[in-house]
């Protein structure tokens, strides 16, 4: 059920600023199953999904038990030239570190092993930490940022793409780790959907809400609390410094965007994968890899095309437009720009798909002299570019868009 907030003063209403456009509005009491949206930019202010800590903990423990199996047990195996080779998530990363380079392997490891493990550990920490009176603030703050880096769902699609790729060379069978991995992915999705940081803050660090529409009210981008800064200029709830606008937001966002554009050039020119077949070496760039995939299976080629080419390019173009529009205080198409920014924030992580596919294929197709698949130098550049674009969006303070729109010459230096 959606509630659109309205401005007349209501009994028990609390005042809140929108984290995306900074509008101050009154929010009537919202039930935990309802969601509330900003009246100006339609950003979601209150998430109607919330599960109890007990339920989240039960999921975390189940995930903890599944983790070792889904990471180390074979996800699938192939019979290649008389021998059976199996690939696991961990094996794929190790192979990537051995034959390719360690940095690209650690990018894959971070998104598929590092973040899910951190997610599980954080939930368990909250559960135990609360009992022993430990400081939970850094963990709840981190959870909001962690969400988009948990990429188990993308890896699952990667397994499907890799198996279709490998089918050309060998007969394929699902491995015992696959069920564990699918269950782990579903549980992680459930947890991410039902994990509500706002409710966590209210549960562990309850503070009185603002009941006067004061101009000095500021919203904290860390915990989304609207209040007056404490004596040290910090958010009273999570203790991060409360600034009018995020510091150096434009500079950082530009830097990440320009770097990602530079990295995207070698990522698309250099070979991303190299196949040795009976001693002959065949190199594939991202585009030629998609072309050869398209000759066999068009839908899968389309998925890889969207993830590896369409999404990164669109993301760069949208970010460029948004950043330039802020500099020139552009007023046209604000709603469209906001909408596009939200879409690219949501789809940006899917670009990692290609790296996951490469990591899996590398450990599956590996028969030394006869047939081998390894990654090319483009993989590193591509992975870095994707991570940089995610950071560029993360660092951009979307309130600057509204400032440029509203005043025409907004200058915020704080
Ligand atoms: Zn808003
Ligand atoms: Zn805060």
- The alpha carbon of residue 20 and the mean position of all alpha carbons in its chain are separated, in whole angstroms, by 18
User: Does residue 63 register a pLDDT over 80?
Assistant: yes
Query: What is the per-residue pLDDT for 368?
Result: 66
Q: Give the tokens for residue 166.
A: 């490998």
269 and 366 in contact (C-beta within 8 Å)?
no
CA of 395 to the centre of ligand 2 (A): 17
CA of 227 to the centre of ligand 2 (A): 9
Indicate the SS3 state at residue 217.
Answer: coil
Query: What is the per-residue pLDDT for 312?
Result: 92
Measured between alpha carbons, how far is 330 from 215 in angstroms, rounded to an integer? 26
CA of 172 to the centre of ligand 2 (A): 50
Query: What is the per-residue pLDDT for 294?
Result: 87
Q: What is the pLDDT of residues 355-391, one digit of tens each?
A: 999 998 888 887 666 678 888 999 999 999 999 999 9
Closest ligand (CA of 22): 1
- Across all residues in the chain, what is the average pLDDT? 87
331 and 405 in contact (C-beta within 8 Å)?
yes
Closest ligand (CA of 242): 2
Bridge partners for 152 per DSSP: none
Calculate mean pLDDT across residues 4-12.
Answer: 54
CA of 229 to the centre of ligand 2 (A): 10
Calculate mean pLDDT across residues 340-349.
Answer: 88
CA of 205 to the centre of ligand 2 (A): 11
The more confidently predicted of residues 401 and 263 is: 263
Calculate mean pLDDT across residues 101-113.
Answer: 93
pLDDT band for position 69 (cuts 50, 70, 90): very high
CA of 238 to the centre of ligand 1 (A): 21
User: Does residue 413 register a pLDDT over 50?
Assistant: no
User: Does residue 230 register a pLDDT over 60?
Assistant: yes
Bridge partners for 276 per DSSP: 281, 372
Q: Give the tokens for residue 207.
A: 């503070």
* Crossing angle of the two packed helices 378-395 and 353-364, in degrees rounded to 10: 150
Q: What is the pLDDT of residues 257-303, one digit of tens each?
A: 999 999 999 999 999 988 888 778 889 999 998 998 888 888 888 98
User: Does residue 65 register a pLDDT over 90?
Assistant: yes
DSSP 240-288: -B--SS-TTHHHHHHHHHHHHHHHHHHHHHS-SEEEEETTEEEEE-HHH
Question: H/E element holding 371?
Answer: strand 371-375
CA of 22 to the centre of ligand 1 (A): 6
Closest ligand (CA of 24): 1
Query: What is the per-residue pLDDT for 212?
Result: 81
CA of 349 to the centre of ligand 1 (A): 24
pLDDT band for position 119 (cuts 50, 70, 90): very high
236 and 207 in contact (C-beta within 8 Å)?
yes
Measured between alpha carbons, how far is 267 from 44 in angstroms, rounded to an integer? 35
DSSP at 234: B
User: Does residue 236 register a pLDDT over 50?
Assistant: yes
Calculate mean pLDDT across residues 71-75.
Answer: 93
Measured between alpha carbons, how far is 29 from 24 in angstroms, rounded to an integer? 16
Show the 3-state SS of 373-388. EEECCHHHHHHHHHHH
Angle, CA of 216, 222 and 227, to the nearest 5°: 25
Q: What is the pLDDT of residues 136-183, one digit of tens each?
A: 999 999 998 898 899 999 999 999 998 888 887 778 888 889 999 999
Query: What is the per-residue pLDDT for 414?
Result: 40
* Phi/psi of residue 37, nearest 5 degrees: -125, 150
CA of 25 to the centre of ligand 1 (A): 9
3-state helix, strand, coil in the chain (%, to 5): 55, 15, 30
Q: Residue ranges per domain, the chain?
A: 53-198+244-407
């Amino acid at each position: 059920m959606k509630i659109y907030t309205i401005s007349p003063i209501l009994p028990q209403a609390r005042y809140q600023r929108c984290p995306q456009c900074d509008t101050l509005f009154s929010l009537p009491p919202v039930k935990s199953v309802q969601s509330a949206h900003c009246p100006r930019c339609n950003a979601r202010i209150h998430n109607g999904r919330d599960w109890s800590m007990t339920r989240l903990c039960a999921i975390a423990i189940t995930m903890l038990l599944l983790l070792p199996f889904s990471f180390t047990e074979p996800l699938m195996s192939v019979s290649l030239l008389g021998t059976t080779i199996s690939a696991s998530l961990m094996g794929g990363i190790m192979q990537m570190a051995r034959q390719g380079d360690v940095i690209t392997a650690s990018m894959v490891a971070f998104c598929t092993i590092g973040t899910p493990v951190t997610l599980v550990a954080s939930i368990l920490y909250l559960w135990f930490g609360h009992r022993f009176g430990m400081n939970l603030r850094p963990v709840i703050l981190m959870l909001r940022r962690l969400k988009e880096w948990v990429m188990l769902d993308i890896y699952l699609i990667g397994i499907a793409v890799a198996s279709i790729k490998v089918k050309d060379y060998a007969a394929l069978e699902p491995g015992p780790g696959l069920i564990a991995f699918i269950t782990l992915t579903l549980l992680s999705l459930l947890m991410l959907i039902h994990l509500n940081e706002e409710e966590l803050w209210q549960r562990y660090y309850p503070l009185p809400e603002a009941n006067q529409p004061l101009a000095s009210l500021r919203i904290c981008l860390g915990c989304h609390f609207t209040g007056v800064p404490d004596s040290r200029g910090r958010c009273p709830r999570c203790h991060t410094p409360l600034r009018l606008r995020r510091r150096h937001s434009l500079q950082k966002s530009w830097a990440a965007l320009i770097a990602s554009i530079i990295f995207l050039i070698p990522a698309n020119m250099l070979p991303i994968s190299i196949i040795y077949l009976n001693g002959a070496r065949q190199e594939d760039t991202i585009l030629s890899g998609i072309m050869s995939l398209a000759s066999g299976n068009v839908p899968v080629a389309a998925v890889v095309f969207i993830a590896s080419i369409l999404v990164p390019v669109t993301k760069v173009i949208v970010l460029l437009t948004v950043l330039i529009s802020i500099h020139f205080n552009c007023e046209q198409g604000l709603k469209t720009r906001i909408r596009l920014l939200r879409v690219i924030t949501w789809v940006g992580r899917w670009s990692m798909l290609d790296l996951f596919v490469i990591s899996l294929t590398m450990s599956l197709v590996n028969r030394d002299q006869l047939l081998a698949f390894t990654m090319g130098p483009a993989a590193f550049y591509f992975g870095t570019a994707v991570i940089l674009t995610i950071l560029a969006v993360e660092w951009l303070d979307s309130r600057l868009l509204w400032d440029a729109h509203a005043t025409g010459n907004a200058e915020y230096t704080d």
